[in-house]
Amino acid sequence: MRASRRDFLKGIGAAAVAAAGAPAIVSAQARKGVPSDPVKLGVLAIRAGIAAPVGTAGLRGTEWWADRVNNGGGILGRKVQLVVEEESNPKDTVERYRKLVLQEKVDVVLGGISTGVTLALGTVAEDLATPWLSWDGTTQKGVEETMPNPKWAFKSVDNEVEAIVAGMLTPKYFKGIKTVAGIGNDYSYGHDCWQSYQAVLKRYIPDVKFVLELFPKLGVTDFTSHIAAIQQSKADLLMCSFWSGDATIIMKQAAAVGLFKTMKGVFTTVGGVHDSLKKDFTPEGLLLGYNTMYFDDPKGSPLLKQFVREYKAKYNEYPPYECDHAYFNAESYKAAVEKAYASAQEWPSKAQVVKALEGIEVESLSGRRGWREDHVQMCNFYQGLTTHKNAYDFATINPIEVVSTKQAMKPAGAKLFDWINSWKI
């Protein structure tokens, strides 16, 4: 249906251009009740620090989406204009958010990755009555305590989902696991992942022992001491929730001492830097998590393939999952606007857009995904065992497990650990 509308718009535009004799594309495609000026979308992207790689990826994904939409005539004929501000620490990001809404007068804010920031933004978003679609950054606390019933804020998937999926897949791929060591960054995400992983694994392997837990702070670049401690623990398996450059580093340093020759490895979120995991130091047989998008999905849509191709051509890198979150958020906004327009017959108000977003599903880079009624993302998670049998110089996964948030994310209103303990194994 979208394709035909695009053709329809193009037809109208062409006719109007021919008639007016001037390339006033925007006004030519004006529809009933739709303003002719561009629609402003605010974007908060991390530019510095450890999360900079995923922040950059999210921005690139949004820009690619915007170019694509604009080439197709915009949203209901209105061009999309991105207004980008930096996500840094909570205090400064709250100020930039306020600027986007109050000064730049954007219709929606996209973005938000870091946990501390998204927690602060939640209440601000509610106060400023503008939809906010967050890319990432939702921990249990954010879901349960500070934003139990958001009206304007749309939260990312619970952060622990990938740890839960990893916990489900561990007993499937690794038999005879009795002892487990864990390493994660020393902040909410690292701790929450470890706790969720432990809770899930215990359901499948009741007498599993957790022999070591290490939480180096974010930004550490030398894990030789940590690896020494992990080796000493003689655990059967190491679970690691790093997602940035530190994942590459620990993989390298582990390979240098042959850690994974005698130990199994589970890397829940390494998809953030997947193309830096070169074959030289990333062994086969590790369980790797790619969050919601696996760039080389054999079942991937033409959209995904095109995106990967163009991303690689432009940036000489392969896209990580944040691109999918970013694309989905932007695309769902567009779909919501179109859906609300269909009934209102004029450009929808922010409240109408919010209503249309609830329950919506769109075609994102990774496939179909949507917003649950309680403003949480619903999508698929990709994890699998590393293999070197590919055309790249880095490891990829085969076989690929696809687990939906319907299975791996707690339902609306449930408490995480109660829900895990209620599973029928």
Q: How far is the CB of 115 from another protein (least distance, A)?
A: 6
Q: Are strands 377-378 and 367-371 parallel, antiparallel or unpaired?
A: antiparallel
> Is the Cβ of residue 26 or residue 212 nearer to another protein in the bound state?
212
> Is the Cβ of residue 119 or residue 326 nearer to another protein in the bound state?
119
Q: Which residue has the tokens 């369980």?
A: 287
Q: How far is the CB of 49 from another protein (least distance, A)?
A: 5
Sheet holding 39-46, edge to edge: 80-87, 39-46, 108-111, 132-133, 153-154
What is the full DSSP assignment across 114-150?
A: SHHHHHHHHHHHHHHT--EE--S-B-HHIIIII-SS-
Q: How far is the CB of 411 from another protein (least distance, A)?
A: 23
- Nearest Cα residue to 82 out of 57, 54, 109: 109
Q: How far is the CB of 135 from another protein (least distance, A)?
A: 16
Which H helix or E strand runs over 7? helix 2-20
> Is the Cβ of residue 9 or residue 250 nearer to another protein in the bound state?
250
> Is the Cβ of residue 222 or residue 361 nearer to another protein in the bound state?
222
> Is the Cβ of residue 100 or residue 337 nearer to another protein in the bound state?
100
Q: Which residue has the tokens 């209103």?
A: 413
> Is the Cβ of residue 188 or residue 301 nearer to another protein in the bound state?
188
Which H helix or E strand runs over 180? strand 179-183
> Is the Cβ of residue 227 or residue 288 nearer to another protein in the bound state?
227
Q: How far is the CB of 227 from another protein (least distance, A)?
A: 7
CA dihedral sign of residues 318, 323, 328, 331: negative
State the CB neighbour count (10 A cutoff) for residue 162.
30
Tokens matching residue 285: 């047989």
Q: How far is the CB of 121 from another protein (least distance, A)?
A: 9
Which residues does residue 403 pair with via DSSP β-bridges, in sequence order?
381
> Is the Cβ of residue 256 or residue 342 nearer to another protein in the bound state?
256
Query: Looking at the chain, how many residues does it have?
Result: 425
| Contact assessment for residue 194 and residue 213, using Cβ atoms and an 8 Å cutoff | yes
Give alpha helix (H) positions in 290-373.
Answer: 302-315, 322-344, 350-357
Q: Which residue has the tokens 């992942």?
A: 193
Q: How far is the CB of 147 from another protein (least distance, A)?
A: 10
> Is the Cβ of residue 255 or residue 303 nearer to another protein in the bound state?
255
Tokens matching residue 338: 């179109």
Give the contacts of 373 (CB within 8 A, at least 6 positions apart).
358, 359, 412
Q: How far is the CB of 13 from another protein (least distance, A)?
A: 32
Distance from C-alpha of 345 to C-alpha of 335, rounded to nearest angstrom: 15
Q: How far is the CB of 373 from another protein (least distance, A)?
A: 25
- Nearest Cα residue to 54 out of 217, 242, 307: 242
> Is the Cβ of residue 14 or residue 228 nearer to another protein in the bound state?
228
State the CB neighbour count (10 A cutoff) for residue 206.
8
Tokens matching residue 151: 């009206």
- Nearest Cα residue to 280 out of 383, 201, 386: 386
> Is the Cβ of residue 9 or residue 46 nearer to another protein in the bound state?
46
Q: How far is the CB of 268 from another protein (least distance, A)?
A: 18
Q: How far is the CB of 98 from another protein (least distance, A)?
A: 6
CA within 13 Å, CB half, 388: 8
